[in-house]
Amino acid sequence: MNIRNYNIYFNTHTISGIIICALLYVIFFAGSFSFFKHEMRAWQHGVSYEANKGVGKDFDFLLDSLRQTHNLQGRDIAFYLQPHSLGASVNMSVSKDTTVSKPQQAPAEGQRRGRRGGGDATFFYYDFHQERASTYAESYDMGEFLYRLHFLAQLNQVPIRIGMPFGYTLAGLVSFLFLFALITGLLLHWDKIVSNFFIFRPWSKWKTVWTDMHTALGVIGFPFQFIFALTGIILIVNWVLVKPLSNYLYEGKEQALYADLGFSDGATYEYLYKPIDQDFSMQSYLAELEQKWGGSTFSRIFIKNYGDESMHLIVQAKPDPKLNFSGEGKAIYRIHDHALIYEKDPHTASSYKDKVSSIIYHLHFGDFGGYPVKITFFILGIMGCIVIISGILIWLVARDKKNVPKRKRVFNFWASNVFVAICLTMLPVTALTFIAVKVYPEVNQEFIYSVYFYSWLVLSIFYVARRNLRATNKETLLSGAILGLCIPVVNGIYGGNWIWKTFISGETDILFFDLLWIAIAVVALIAFVKIQRDGIKEDKKRLKPITK
């Protein structure tokens, strides 16, 4: 490689990487845990999906409960079902029937308005196992928090108006710059990619360890990281593609474009003002589809114009990826005459859009191969975190030389010090928050935000002020390991879910999450011991000439 190309790749890789390193670390760290979002929910609430998945979701009971508190006539009701979950998000619109009273009322604290945004529209989460409804803020858990943190959704509350949510836009920009860093990094090491791939000297001095780790783990994780950068860009900043298409082909009507692509159900039915005198049972329709579509799970259910002759039931389903990797099912029933007017089998009919969107979603969320795929993706995600930290330290060491002006060396150190403090404190802060949500009796969105962000801020400021990168690395590993080992103990004391009990009762999702933290703690302790021993050796070397 000629020197000009090398310098271009090196500078592009270094600058793009150092700009986004802290945010990219947050995305990778939170995203790695997000592979176990449903396990985190089961662990926090102490209710295993695996042990209770045979219990059916009684939608008729839910509708009966809603009828006790709301006049459902003329409403659109949507149910959003997450896989491996015992609950559903429910969105209920205002009534289309003008004869029905629609009192104006503000939503409860933490509750979002319905999509129509006015009247008595409501949005809530319903737990079928406990038969209990709660607002979004009340049902908020660590799985939801880390999942949304991995695309910086919390930053949407920052009052910066750019036409799109600030957090999503920033996450998309980070993904885009990360793609540049990946490609230029690969080109940078292309000539020695084979030889460098097989060189890893974990017992050498730390400068060598960081360099080998950054190169070897970067090459190993390149396909994984490239996939996540690319799919992340598509999932987060798809508005870059949607905007011009909707403006020129759909006259600015984005919903029409999404409807044609099949990403939203924009079907509307004229309200006829003809009430139907019959008992509506969702379960009979769902049971019929379950029998037809065996091996698939319902993802979204829509009721249009409830109680009117124009009432329709729309059911969407996703097949088991082992049976069909790219299918999507849909059925539409006209209720007044029980007619099935449209059906798309999830196992046989797959459009081009289904294939493309399924590949993107499955590759990004790792939900197609059970625990082996999730664990592999988790390890590769944590490897990405290590590559980021090692890159920061390599960048610092390369610029900490006498020929570099002092003011630049000071700036480089402080930049690295801040980045490392923000990144490495995520481990103990995450473990601490998991303990807090298990110990505290009433956990909601505000509580999780307070514990996580305030403790993260305090620890970050402490280690930034301390100005000791080795101490930051060593102590965050030790504290994270100790707190991580406490997580299964706290689960047993406060939830009664000791490891042996969850194993015997078949609550594999809760059991797995406890074992995951034990494994993380053991690895962190091993790393801490190595850093401690190497620190002692270096101290002895420095003191030896003084003794003489």
In tens, the pLDDT along 119-175 reads: 578 899 999 888 888 998 999 999 999 999 999 999 988 888 777 788 888 888 898
Contact status, residue 385 vs residue 423, Cβ threshold 8 Å: yes
Cα–Cα nearest to 298, from 256, 338, 275, 331: 331
Half-sphere exposure of 307 (CA within 13 A, CB side): 16
- pLDDT value for 222: 83
Query: Which CA distances in Å does 3 have to 8, 182, 404?
Result: 9, 20, 21
Rounded CA-CA distance 399/385 in Å is 22
SS3 percent helix, strand, coil of the chain, rounded to 5, is 60, 10, 30
- pLDDT value for 193: 62
How sure is the predictor about 70, in pLDDT bands with cuts at 50, 70 and 90? confident
Q: What is the pLDDT of residues 6-32, one digit of tens each?
A: 677 777 777 778 888 899 999 999 999
What residues contact residue 351 under an 8 Å CB cut-off, 6+ apart? 262
Beta strands in 257-311 (DSSP E): 296-304
pLDDT at 439 over 80: yes
Strand order in the sheet with 329-334: 132-134, 122-127, 87-92, 77-81, 296-304, 312-319, 329-334, 339-344
Q: What is the 3-state secondary structure (H, E, C) of 209-264?
A: HHHHHHHHHHHHCHHHHHHHHHHHHHHHCCHHHHHHHHHHHCCCCHHHHHHHHCCC
Contact status, residue 270 vs residue 304, Cβ threshold 8 Å: no
User: How far is C-alpha 159 from the chain's CA centre?
Assistant: 23
Query: Which CA distances in Å does 338 have to 142, 266, 271, 294, 333?
Result: 42, 22, 18, 21, 6
Beta bridge partners of 1: none
Q: What is the pLDDT of residues 258-315, one digit of tens each?
A: 666 655 566 778 888 888 877 788 999 999 999 988 888 899 999 999 989 999 999 9
DSSP 378-425: HHHHHHHHHHHHHHHHHHHHHH-STTS-HHHHHHHHHHHHHHHHHHHT
Percent of the chain, pLDDT > 70? 84
pLDDT at 365 over 90: no
| pLDDT greater at residue 214 or residue 386 | 386
- pLDDT value for 482: 96
DSSP reduced 3-state for 325 = coil
Mean predicted lDDT score pLDDT of the chain: 84
Q: What is the pLDDT of residues 175-225, one digit of tens each?
A: 888 888 888 888 777 666 666 555 656 556 656 666 777 777 777 788 888
Query: What's the length of the chain?
Result: 548
Give the pLDDT mean for 322-330: 82
Angle CA(451)–CA(456)–CA(462) in degrees, nearest 5?
A: 130
The amino acid occupying position 45 is H
How sure is the predictor about 55, in pLDDT bands with cuts at 50, 70 and 90? confident
Return the number of other C-beta atoms located less than 10 Å from residue 18's C-beta.
Answer: 18
Cα–Cα nearest to 77, from 123, 110, 112, 108: 123
Q: What is the pTM of this model?
A: 0.87
Query: Which CA distances in Å does 176 have to 25, 155, 282, 332?
Result: 15, 18, 44, 39
User: How far is C-alpha 466 from the chain's CA centre?
Assistant: 32
Q: Give the pair of three-digit tokens for residue 348.
A: 């046989």
The amino acid occupying position 499 is I
Rounded CA-CA distance 171/347 in Å is 34
Q: Give the pair of three-digit tokens for residue 317.
A: 């389903």
| pLDDT greater at residue 160 or residue 349 | 160
How sure is the predictor about 106, in pLDDT bands with cuts at 50, 70 and 90? very low
The secondary element (H helix, E strand) that includes residue 188 is helix 166-188
Query: Which CA distances in Å does 530 have to 119, 316, 413, 519?
Result: 62, 52, 24, 17
What residues contact residue 185 under an 8 Å CB cut-off, 6+ apart? 9, 13, 17, 218
- pLDDT value for 117: 41
Rounded CA-CA distance 92/125 in Å is 11
Cα–Cα nearest to 24, from 182, 237, 185, 135: 182
